Amino acid sequence: MSRALSWLVVAGVLGCLAVSGLSAAEPKYTTKEIMKKGHVPPGKSLVARVIKGEASAEEKKLLVELYEALGQNEPPKGDKAEWQKLTKALLEAAKGVEAGDAGAGEKLNEAVQCGTCHKAHKA
């Protein structure tokens, strides 16, 4: 391989690493966006409709995406491990609803404790 060509290969590999590294580290939504899209207005929010079984397949998928991003975000305050636990419970329950698991709506209802999470993690 010529020297110029091998540098091209190296640059190409580094370029790919940089791009994939970025997309893995960049959550798709900020926590504020997730709250606005998923949790308000009370009673009629996305999560409330998913819990009540009123959401479309697309809406259920959006909620899973929101909670995926939530777990990737840093909590504005509080213990990171606790944050991971709360957000993982949300994600798993939302995935359960999407998959049509029996009782998943109940689990989601239990996992989405606005006050508990805000007290611990909302700055």
Which residues here bind ligand HEC, judged by CB under 6 A?
A: 31-32, 35-36, 39-40, 42, 47, 75-76, 86-87, 112-114, 117-118, 121-123
Burial class (CB in 10 A: 0-12, 13-18, 19+), 97: buried
Nearer to ligand HEC, 72 or 113 (CB): 113
- Minimum CB separation of residue 81 from ligand HEC in Å reads 13
Nearer to ligand HEC, 36 or 61 (CB): 36
Nearer to ligand HEC, 12 or 74 (CB): 74
| CA gap 84, 100 in Å, rounded | 24
Letter for the amino acid at 6? S
- Minimum CB separation of residue 16 from ligand HEC in Å reads 32
- Minimum CB separation of residue 6 from ligand HEC in Å reads 46
| CA gap 68, 84 in Å, rounded | 11
Q: Report the candidate in 41, 99, 40, 35 with the shortest Cα–Cα distance to residue 67.
A: 35
- Minimum CB separation of residue 89 from ligand HEC in Å reads 8
Q: Where are the alpha helices (DSSP H) in 1-123?
A: 3-25, 31-38, 46-51, 57-72, 80-99, 104-111, 114-121
Nearer to ligand HEC, 47 or 63 (CB): 47
